[in-house]
Amino acid sequence: MQRRKFLKRGSLVTLAAALGTEIVFGKNIIKGYQILGLQDPDPFKLFKKDPQMVVLNDKPWNMEAQAHLLDDKVTPNKFMFIRNNGKIPPNINIANWKIIFDGESIKTKKTYTLEELKSKFKQHTYQLTLECGGNGRSEFDPPAKGNQWTVGAVACAEWTGVRLRDVLEDIGYKQDAVYIGYHAADTHLSGDPGKEPISRGVPMAKALQDETLLAFKMNGEDIPLAHGYPLRLIAGGWPASASGKWLNGISIRNKVHDGTKMTGTAYRVPCETVAPGEKVKDEDMCIIESMPVKSLITYPKSGAVLNNKKNLTIRGHAWAGELQVKSMEYSIDFGSTWQKCTLEVPKNRLAWQHFSAEISFPKKGYYEVWARAMDSNNRKQPMILPGWNPKGYLNNACHRIAVKVS
């Protein structure tokens, strides 16, 4: 008779952390058993999210914030969007967690444990903006398939980890290296273990930037399970799909990484503008790199009513992919005239910037406040939907809120 395998201690500790309490008779749990408490259909409890977050899909989990929930300077977990392409890996045991470095352009294949990464390399902390390439998709017409993100698939948390560059230099790579591709522990929705739900990457130049991290902490704590516990690649300012969660492998490639969701219409847009709905040839599609300039009014919530006062201080954040935001303005007359906002410098490169403005409304009535950012290359956000593309990426149109002065 085969001996029954029981859950290892490390897995129990992880499960207990996810449940928020000890599993009293945990030592009796057989390996592979699905804990009922973690099949909790309440994603807000499961992922410790604020109940005002909006679930867009439960298979896989996709959840976004509303603009006013993103008011914090540094986004806390409870307001952070979740974008999963597959199933969250079960039973993570950090004691056994390894990351394998391989690929055509590596000198010798190398594996590190999480402990080795943490002890061998200097640790760095940065605030880094992560925005899903599909944020704003819901506005495209003809509509684009996929999660119908409105404005809330963006966040700027504080990430701590080691520089990917330091690790790559420790390993050694060949002159012909052009790209890195990530591999992760999440599983394909089909259940097919041979299929990766997503395996994207970035060119070497991005991989070697100071701010590109192999991160193990978010906002000073272990990364929450939904956001990539225990290890995550972070490439701020690029579509967040480049920031692989549950990271267990990096391939150093001698060509553009060709993993799942690197080709076809996935995270690619027509290299030249096309008419809405037009069919685009594969060779005319380009991989999204730095995200475009964008901003969000996070206070007040749209629909605010001012009683017996005509002044209002608005605030929010602006970001511009690899670039810095140079100026920020608002309009209360449907874009006819624009006034300057106060704009803070970023905490570090690739962090979003905070803005505010004191608005004086001329009289009682209905207004819309529109906000528009300009990047360091003098590019401004469009007021209406920018270039249509098959999957509805890169909508950086101005954010607007309604205000009633009564």
Q: Which of ligand MTE, Mo ion, none does residue 243 bind to, with CB < 5 to 8 Å depending on kind?
A: ligand MTE
Q: Is residue 387 within the footprint of ligand MTE (CB under 6 A)?
A: no
| Residue 231 binds ligand MTE, judged by CB under 6 A | no
Spatial distance between the Cα atoms of 158 and 394, rounded to a whole number of angstroms: 24
Part of the chain binding ligand MTE (CB under 6 A), chosen from 84-92, 109-117, 118-126, 296-304: 84-92
CA 200 to chain centre: 13
What is 297-353 written as a DSSP string?
EEES-TTEEE-S--EEEEEEEEEBTTBPEEEEEEESSTTSS-EEPEEPPPSSTT--E
Q: How far apart are CA 160 and CA 154, in angstroms?
A: 18
* From candidates 159, 246, 319, 330, binder to ligand MTE by CB under 6 A: 246
Q: Does residue 151 contact residue 139 with C-beta atoms inside 8 Å? A: no
DSSP string, 5-45: PBPPHHHHHHHHHHHTS--TTGGGPBTT---GGGS-S-HHH
Q: Which residues pair with 216 in a beta bridge?
A: none
Tell me how far apart the alpha carbons of residues 170 and 156 are, in angstroms, rounded to a whole number.
29
62 near Mo ion, judged by CB under 5 A: no
The answer to whether residue 85 forms part of the interface with ligand MTE (CB under 6 A) is yes
Footprint on residues 289-348 left by ligand MTE (CB under 6 A): none
Site string for Mo ion, 211-250 (x = CB under 5 A): ------------------------------x---------
Does position 186 interact with ligand MTE (CB under 6 A)? The reply is: yes
Q: Does 269 bind Mo ion (CB under 5 A)?
A: no
With CB under 5 A as the contact rule, which of the stretches 49-57, 76-84, 256-264, 326-334 interacts with Mo ion? 76-84
Q: Which residues contact 122 (CB under 8 A, 6 or more apart)?
A: 162, 163, 166
For position 64 contacting ligand MTE by CB under 6 A, the verdict is no
- How many residues sit in the footprint of ligand MTE (CB under 6 A)? 20
Residue 198 found at the interface with ligand MTE (CB under 6 A): yes
Whether 65 contacts 155, CB under 8 Å: yes
Is the Cβ of residue 57 or residue 93 nearer to ligand MTE in the bound state? Answer: 57
* DSSP secondary structure letter of residue 2: P
Answer yes or no whether residue 197 interacts with ligand MTE by CB under 6 A: yes
Measuring CA to CA, how many Å separate 124 from each of 73, 128, 154, 406?
A: 19, 12, 22, 49
For 286-306, b/e burial (b = at least 16 CB within 10 A) is: ebbeebbbbbbbbbbeeebeb
Q: Identify the bridge partners of residue 354 per DSSP, sorted by sequence position.
A: 317
Q: Which of 7, 82, 328, 405 binds ligand MTE (CB under 6 A)?
A: 82
- Ordered alpha helix ranges (H), 64-125: 114-120
Q: CB nearer to ligand MTE: give 103 or 259.
A: 259
Helix (H, G, I), strand (E, B), or coil: what is residue 80? coil
Of 96, 78, 388, 82, which is closest to residue 228 (Cα–Cα)? 82
**Any contact of residue 257 with ligand MTE (CB under 6 A)?**
no
Binding mask 126-145 for ligand MTE (x = CB under 6 A): ----x-x-------------
241 interacts with ligand MTE by CB under 6 A: yes
Determine if 235 is a binding residue for ligand MTE (CB under 6 A): no
Nearer to ligand MTE, 198 or 296 (CB): 198
Residue 367, contacted partner among Mo ion, ligand MTE, none, CB below 5-8 A by kind: none
Q: Which amino acid is at 56?
A: L
- Could you say which residues in the range 126-145 bind Mo ion, by CB under 5 A? 132
Partner interacting with residue 86 (select from ligand MTE, Mo ion, none; CB below 5-8 Å by kind)? ligand MTE
For Mo ion, the binding residues (CB under 5 A) are 83, 132, 241
Q: Which residues of the shown chain bind ligand MTE in the complex (CB under 6 A)?
A: 80-86, 130, 132, 184, 186, 197-198, 227, 240-241, 243-246
